[in-house]
Chains A and B, each alone.
Chain A
Amino acid sequence: MTITKRIATDVGGTFTDLVAIETGPEGMKITTAKSDTTPPNFEAGVLNVMAKGNIDPKDVDFMVHGTTVVINALTERKGVTVGLITTKGFRDTLEIARGNRPDFFNLHYEKPEPFVPRYLRAEVPGRMTYLGAERIPLDLSGVPDIVDNFRAEGVQAVAISLLHSYANTAHEEAVLAEIQRLWPDVSVVASHQITREWREYERSNTAVLSAYVQPVAARYLGNLDQSLREKGLPQSPYIMQSNCGVDSLAATSAVPITMVESGPASGFWGAAELGKLIDEPDILALDIGGTTAKCSLIEGGEVRIMTDYWIERSRKSAGYPIMVPVVDLVEIGNGGGSIAWVDDFDKLHVGPQSAGALPGPAAYGKGGTNATTTDANLWLGRINKDYFCGGAVDADMDSAGSALKAVGDKLGVSTDEAAQGIVRIANNNMVNALKLVSLNRGHDTRDFTLLAFGGGGAMHAVALGQELQVKKVVVPAAASVFSAWGMMMSDLRRDYFVTQLADLSEGSAMGIEAVFAKAEVEARATFKAEGVDPAKLTFLRYGKFRYQNQEHTTEVLLDGTVTDGALSKIADDFHGAYEREYTYRLDAPVEMVGIHLVARAEVGKLEMIPAPLGDADASEAIKGTRDVDYALEGKHLATIYDGEKLRAGMAFNGPAIIEDPGTTVVIHPNNTVSIDAYGNIHILLEGQS
Chain B
Amino acid sequence: MSDPITLEIIQNSLQATSDEMFAAMRKTAMSSIIYEVLDMGTGITDAQGRIASSGAGIPAFIGVLDKSVQFILSKFGDDIKPNDVFITNDPWHGGVTHLNDLVLAMPVFADGAIIAWTANIAHNSDVGGMAPGSLSGDATEIFQEGLRLPAVKLIREGVTDQAVMDIITCNSRMPDFLLGDVWAAIAAVRIGARRLEDLSVKYTPTTFKAAMDSFMDFGEKTALAELAKLPKGTFELSEPQDDGCTYNVKVTITDDEFIVDLRDNPTQDKGCTNTSRDGTIVCAQMLFKSVTDPETPANEGAFRPLKVLTTEGTVFHAQEPAAIGFYFETEVRVYDLIWRCLAPHVPERLPVGHFSSICGTFVGGTHPDTGRQYTIIEPQIGGWGAWEGRDGNPCIFSGFHGETYNTPAEISEARNGLFIDKMELNTAPGGEGEFNGGRGLVLEYRIRTKNGFLTAGYTRSVVKPWPLDGGEEGSGNFIEVDKAAGEREHYAFVSGLDLTTDDVVRVITSSGAGFGDPKKRAHDAVALDIKNGFITPERAREIHGYGE
Binding site for B on A (CB under 8 A): 88-93, 95-111, 117-119, 127, 129-131, 135, 163-164, 166, 198-202, 315, 344-348, 411, 413, 420-421, 424-425, 428-429, 432, 435-436, 439-440, 501, 547-552, 581-584, 586, 588
Are the C-beta atoms of A92 and B424 separated by less than 8 Å? yes
CA distance A636 to B424 in the complex (A): 65
Are the C-beta atoms of A582 and B532 separated by less than 8 Å? no
Out of B180, B289, B387, B408, which one reaches A198, CB within 8 Å?
B408
Chain A positions within 8 Å of B424 at CB level: 89-92, 96
Chain A to chain B contacts (Cβ below 8 Å), 22 pairs? A89-B444, A90-B409, A90-B422, A90-B423, A91-B424, A96-B381, A98-B405, A99-B396, A102-B402, A108-B351, A199-B408, A199-B411, A202-B408, A428-B13, A432-B12, A440-B20, A440-B24, A549-B180, A584-B183, A586-B180, A586-B183, A588-B176
Chain A positions within 8 Å of B395 at CB level: 92, 95-97, 99
Out of A100, A436, A552, which one reaches B405, CB within 8 Å?
A100
CA distance A90 to B532 in the complex (A): 15
CB distance from A411 to the nearest CB of B (A): 7
Chain A positions within 8 Å of B420 at CB level: 89
Are the C-beta atoms of B190 and A583 separated by less than 8 Å? yes
Out of A101, A119, A551, which one reaches B403, CB within 8 Å?
A101
CA distance A119 to B298 in the complex (A): 41
Are the C-beta atoms of B28 and A432 separated by less than 8 Å? no
Chain B positions within 8 Å of A584 at CB level: 183, 186-187
Are the C-beta atoms of B351 and A107 separated by less than 8 Å? yes
Given contacts A345-B221, A432-B12, A547-B30, contact A110 B390 (CB under 8 A): yes
Binding site for A on B (CB under 8 A): 4-5, 8-9, 12-13, 16, 20, 23-24, 26-32, 35-36, 56, 58-59, 176-177, 179-180, 183-184, 186-187, 190-191, 195, 218, 221-222, 225, 286, 289-290, 294-295, 298, 349-351, 369, 381, 387, 390, 393-397, 399, 401-406, 408-411, 413-414, 419-425, 438, 441, 444, 528, 531-534
Closest residue of A by beta carbon distance from B426:
A92
CB distance from B139 to the nearest CB of A (A): 27
Chain A positions within 8 Å of B390 at CB level: 108, 110
Are the C-beta atoms of A429 and B12 separated by less than 8 Å? yes
CB distance from B328 to the nearest CB of A (A): 16
The 8 closest A-B pairs by CB, nearest first: A104-B402, A89-B422, A99-B381, A105-B294, A118-B532, A130-B414, A552-B27, A106-B294
| Besides A549-B177, A583-B190, 18 new A-B residue pairs in contact (Cβ under 8 A), listed by A number | A89-B423, A89-B444, A92-B423, A99-B395, A100-B404, A101-B396, A101-B403, A103-B294, A108-B390, A109-B393, A110-B393, A118-B425, A199-B410, A199-B411, A345-B218, A547-B180, A549-B30, A583-B187
Closest residue of B by beta carbon distance from A418:
B5
CA distance A135 to B420 in the complex (A): 13
Are the C-beta atoms of A424 and B397 separated by less than 8 Å? no
Are the C-beta atoms of B16 and A119 separated by less than 8 Å? no
Chain B positions within 8 Å of A130 at CB level: 410, 413-414
CB distance from A122 to the nearest CB of B (A): 11
Chain A positions within 8 Å of B180 at CB level: 547, 549-550, 586, 588
CA distance A432 to B177 in the complex (A): 32
CA distance A117 to B31 in the complex (A): 34
CA distance A541 to B20 in the complex (A): 29
Are the C-beta atoms of B397 and A100 separated by less than 8 Å? yes
CA distance A160 to B434 in the complex (A): 35
Chain B positions within 8 Å of A104 at CB level: 58-59, 401-403
CA distance A344 to B13 in the complex (A): 21
Are the C-beta atoms of B28 and A96 separated by less than 8 Å? no
CB distance from B482 to the nearest CB of A (A): 14
Out of A89, A344, A420, A582, which one reaches B225, CB within 8 Å?
A344
Are the C-beta atoms of A428 and B12 separated by less than 8 Å? yes
Closest residue of B by beta carbon distance from A587:
B179
CA distance A581 to B418 in the complex (A): 33
Are the C-beta atoms of A582 and B28 separated by less than 8 Å? yes
Are the C-beta atoms of B294 and A421 separated by less than 8 Å? no
Given contacts A108-B387, A425-B9, A583-B191, contact A129 B425 (CB under 8 A): no
Are the C-beta atoms of A105 and B186 separated by less than 8 Å? no
CA distance A102 to B183 in the complex (A): 26
CB distance from B60 to the nearest CB of A (A): 9
Are the C-beta atoms of B393 and A95 separated by less than 8 Å? no
Chain B positions within 8 Å of A348 at CB level: 4-5, 8
CA distance A424 to B12 in the complex (A): 12
Out of B9, B16, B290, which one reaches A435, CB within 8 Å?
B16
**Which of A107, A130, A199, A501 is most buried by chain B, counting CB atoms within 10 A of its CB?**
A107
Chain B positions within 8 Å of A549 at CB level: 30-31, 176-177, 180
CB distance from B227 to the nearest CB of A (A): 14
CA distance A106 to B411 in the complex (A): 30
CB distance from B444 to the nearest CB of A (A): 8
Closest residue of A by beta carbon distance from B399:
A107
Chain A positions within 8 Å of B421 at CB level: 89
CA distance A135 to B422 in the complex (A): 15
Chain A positions within 8 Å of B425 at CB level: 92, 95-96, 118
Chain A positions within 8 Å of B12 at CB level: 428-429, 432
Are the C-beta atoms of A163 and B409 separated by less than 8 Å? yes
Are the C-beta atoms of A100 and B396 separated by less than 8 Å? yes
CA distance A583 to B183 in the complex (A): 10
Chain A positions within 8 Å of B183 at CB level: 584, 586
CA distance A100 to B30 in the complex (A): 20
Chain B positions within 8 Å of A420 at CB level: 5
CB distance from B374 to the nearest CB of A (A): 10
Closest residue of A by beta carbon distance from B401:
A101
Out of A96, A107, A198, A547, which one reaches B406, CB within 8 Å?
A96
Out of A96, A109, A548, A582, which one reaches B24, CB within 8 Å?
A582
Given contacts A92-B424, A547-B30, contact A501 B404 (CB under 8 A): no
CA distance A48 to B394 in the complex (A): 49
**Which of B177, B179, B402, B409 is most buried by chain A, counting CB atoms within 10 A of its CB?**
B409
CB distance from A594 to the nearest CB of B (A): 12
CA distance A105 to B219 in the complex (A): 14
Closest residue of B by beta carbon distance from A429:
B12
Are the C-beta atoms of B28 and A119 separated by less than 8 Å? no
**Which of A99, A101, A129, A501 is most buried by chain B, counting CB atoms within 10 A of its CB?**
A99
Are the C-beta atoms of B350 and A432 separated by less than 8 Å? no
Given contacts A99-B405, A200-B409, A588-B176, contact A347 B187 (CB under 8 A): no
CA distance A548 to B441 in the complex (A): 30
Chain A positions within 8 Å of B298 at CB level: 105
**Which of A200, A552, A582 is most buried by chain B, counting CB atoms within 10 A of its CB?**
A582
CB distance from A634 to the nearest CB of B (A): 13
CA distance A172 to B58 in the complex (A): 38
CB distance from A37 to the nearest CB of B (A): 35
Chain A positions within 8 Å of B294 at CB level: 103, 105-107
Are the C-beta atoms of B289 and A105 separated by less than 8 Å? yes
Chain A positions within 8 Å of B9 at CB level: 424-425, 428
Are the C-beta atoms of A102 and B56 separated by less than 8 Å? yes
Chain A positions within 8 Å of B351 at CB level: 107-108
Are the C-beta atoms of B441 and A96 separated by less than 8 Å? yes
Are the C-beta atoms of A198 and B411 separated by less than 8 Å? yes
Are the C-beta atoms of A164 and B410 separated by less than 8 Å? yes
Are the C-beta atoms of A96 and B394 separated by less than 8 Å? yes
Are the C-beta atoms of B423 and A96 separated by less than 8 Å? yes
Closest residue of B by beta carbon distance from A547:
B180
Chain A positions within 8 Å of B195 at CB level: 439
Given contacts A105-B59, A547-B180, contact A111 B4 (CB under 8 A): no
CB distance from B320 to the nearest CB of A (A): 31
Closest residue of B by beta carbon distance from A107:
B290
Chain B positions within 8 Å of A547 at CB level: 30, 180
Chain A positions within 8 Å of B396 at CB level: 99-101, 109, 111
CA distance A345 to B422 in the complex (A): 49
CA distance A428 to B4 in the complex (A): 14
Are the C-beta atoms of B187 and A582 separated by less than 8 Å? yes
Out of B58, B404, B410, which one reaches A163, CB within 8 Å?
B410
Chain B positions within 8 Å of A103 at CB level: 294
